[in-house]
Amino acid sequence: LQKLIHLLQATDDPLIQEQALITLSNSAAFSVNQDIIRNLDGLSVIGGMLSNCVPKVKEKALNALNNLSMNIKNQEEIQVFITQVCRTVESAPLNSDVQLAGLRLLTNMSVTNDYHQKMTNSIPCFLHLLSEGTERTQIQVLKVLVNLSANPAMTRHLLRAQV
């Protein structure tokens, strides 16, 4: 895992970055690896890939963070990327793999109320995706909205959103 994280930092080759992210994502299926990746500063390295201009690399970084977000301690570190993930969801092509990967990560990050406030500004985008997206996109958006709606503090933001 350490070598993969170092490889991710050391290369500019999108194909190598994509493969390293896929391997890290698969490794994150095991809780012990989630802790190891966090302790090796892997979350910030993977999060740094969110600003990559290659859509496949960005998608694989979102998928890896999604798998890593199943751990509460990891969520505490991943939350610094929520605003960037929301911007990615908003700017990605409609129904794209990048958009769906971002929505899946936001779904996991919104299971608890801890980070809902970081998603408030994206509520109009979520509602737009709900009306314009394909069924797959709509399902992912609904999961985020259901999680947000379970928090009474979000009621005003949800009802006042301009669509």
CA angle 21, 83, 19 (to 5 degrees): 5
Q: Residues 122-144: pLDDT tens digits?
A: 999 999 999 999 999 999 999 99
Residue with tokens 């259901």: 146
Locate CATH 1.25.10.10 in the chain. 1-79
Q: What is d(CA 35, CA 37) in angstroms, rounded to the nearest whole number?
A: 6
Give the amino acid at 119: M
Summarize pLDDT for 5-58 with one digit per residue, the tens: 999 999 999 999 999 999 999 999 899 999 999 999 999 999 999 999 999 999
Q: What is the CATH architecture assignment of 1-79? A: Alpha Horseshoe (1.25)
Question: 108: which residues sit within 8 A by CB, 6+ positions away?
Answer: 66, 69, 70, 75
